[in-house]
Amino acid sequence: MILREEMEVRYSSVDCPLGRLLVAATRSGICFLSLGETDAPLEAALSSDYPAARINRGPVSSDWIEALLAYLNGETRNLDLPLDVRATEFQRRVWQQLQAIPCGSTRTYGEIALALGYQLTAARAVGRACATNPVSLVIPCHRAVREDGGLGGYRWGLDRKRALLAHERALTLGQAQASAATFRLF
DNA sequence: GCCAGAACTCTGG
DNA sequence: CCAGAGTTCTGGC
């Protein structure tokens, strides 16, 4: 990930249906999100992505955290939160495509490549751009899947990707309550 | 700059 | 079904 000197990052972590959720933000928006079992690896991932930033545990907008939890609890389907992420032009275009995928559906890496005007073979590069998305959930990289029906990969664990897609599918079918109640990993 | 390696996809055996 | 090649981009050296 790109480093920005003198960047001030605060982070906070909470329990959520998928385990631990770490939210990191600058003054202007969310710059990093991670999901895992325990805080330690999530903190390590944060510093690894922002090696030059001044990172401290501290208050993060409760509105943002509430919005994320509401989404994970099936109370809302859209996440429209301010972001503060650095990206190459290509990444920005891919991430924009990801955000255009409606909750409950998916696109293949190849479809995204074509939508951007590239050859189908650019799918691999699209996968790379998805993999380096620093703000999962808000930029829904879990909605990108393989052409052959496979899930592809997920930085925070394929079980979470699978759970997120099942959750969103259920939400779309109007089974929010059922989904919220059964949202689990294994 | 150059290079190896990707969260891919298609082809051929 | 598996191996290999082709495409496009990125991070590290």
pLDDT (tens digit, 9 = 90+) per residue, A49-106?
Answer: 999 899 999 999 999 999 999 999 999 998 999 999 999 999 999 999 999 999 999 9
What pLDDT, on the 0 to 100 scale, is given for residue A13?
Answer: 98
Residues of A 59-88 whose CB lies less than 7 Å from any atom of strand C: 88
DSSP bridge partners of A21: A14, A35
Higher-pLDDT residue of A78, A23: A23
Which nucleotide, over all strands, has the C1' atom closest to the CA of A132?
B7
Judge whether A22 and A39 are in contact, CB under 8 Å.
Answer: yes
Q: For chain A, what is the mean pLDDT?
A: 91
Q: How far apart are CA A111 and CA A139, in angstroms?
A: 17
CA distance A155 to A142: 9
**What's the CA A97/C1' C13 distance, rounded, in angstroms?**
32
Q: Which two tokens stand for residue A124?
A: 């691999």
pLDDT score recorded for residue A182: 58
Burial of A76 (0-12, 13-18, 19+ CB in 10 A): middle
pLDDT at position A173 is 81
Nucleotide nearest to A94 (CA to C1'): C9
Confirm whether any atom of chain C, the nucleic acid strand, is less than 7 Å from CB of A121.
Answer: yes
The yes-or-no answer on residue A141 being catalytic is yes
Q: A159, exposed or middle or buried, with CB in 10 Å at 0-12, 13-18, 19+?
A: middle
Strand partners, A108: A145
- Whether the CB-CB separation of A74 and A183 falls below 8 Å is answered with yes
- Residue, of A1 and A136, whose pLDDT is higher: A136
Cβ–Cβ < 8 Å for A59, A80:
no
Separation between Cα atoms, residue A91 and residue A93, nearest integer Å: 5
Q: Per CA to C1' distance, which residue is closest to C11?
A: A1
The span from the CA of A129 to the CA of A96, in Å, is 11
Nearest nucleotide to A136, CA against C1' atoms: B7
